[in-house]
Structure 1
Amino acid sequence: MAKAIGLSVALFALWLALSGFFKPFLLLLGVLSCALTLYLAFRMKLLDDEAVPIQLRLTLLLYWGWLGGEIFKSAVAVSKVILARDMPLHQQLIAVPAPQKTDMGHVIFANSITLTPGTVTVETRPGIFLIHALTEEASAMSGFAEMGRRVAEIETR
């Protein structure tokens, strides 16, 4: 039941944010469309931990803010490399430990690495990721350790 409530609140919040209409008739249509979507998700047996990850802590919002800052800093660094006359690339593949305990944590960590400019998650194995880094600065293990620690904090234990 908690997953159904969580999904319906998220769907209506998304509908409201995307539509921006606050007229009673349109709000009613939004509620009805969210109810229909919830009914279809229930009938298709999609209300599980993967589809509705309410087990993640609210610190996920703080993590998104931190990740946005990291993405911006990396974008600036990659832009400097691209605009440099000699283009100082030092590409390498590195193995990064993945300290997360759940599949959802591994997905968040791998996608966070890929979202950060200059790094791409190439391969995932239990407990370790293979990462392609564009520069020496992008391959610093301290940055990956910090990101991994923050992702592990938002998981449920």
Structure 2
Amino acid sequence: MKTLQSPTDITVLARAAAKVKRHVLPLFVVMFIVNYIDRVNIGFVRSHLETDLGIGAAAYGLGAGLFFIGYALFEVPSNMLLQRYGARVWLTRIMFTWGAAAMAMAFVQGETSFYVLRFILGAAEAGFFPGIIYYFTQWLPASERGKTMAVFLSGSAIASV
């Protein structure tokens, strides 16, 4: 591994890191805010699922949990494909399939479609968070990653508001 020797190398690296933080980090923060809202919004629709679709507490709990089963099952394969295709391509795929699955939730007709779509939503979203971390490790020096991660993780606090 090459070590930085000259002030020019250090300046180029600092400018590149600043560019990533200026252009990419705000997008990632917005993505994380949407991710967090999407993950917790199931709690806000519980009464509507029960009233409008007849999905009871047990079915709701199973459906909410199926999201995490899909997420857990597809986390490692998603990360392997991220490594293969690159963060830009794979994070874009995650956003599109995640958005399509989230939109499809509007068409839930009963318990079965709720279960299937929650599982698909988890599978589609798998790899998002580690993909962002991977992206940061590829584009930012170690000295910049902690501050960048702090800004990125602030997205969950912003989403909670």
TM-score by length of structure 1 reads 0.29
Larger proportion of strand: 1
Q: Which has the larger radius of gyration?
A: 1
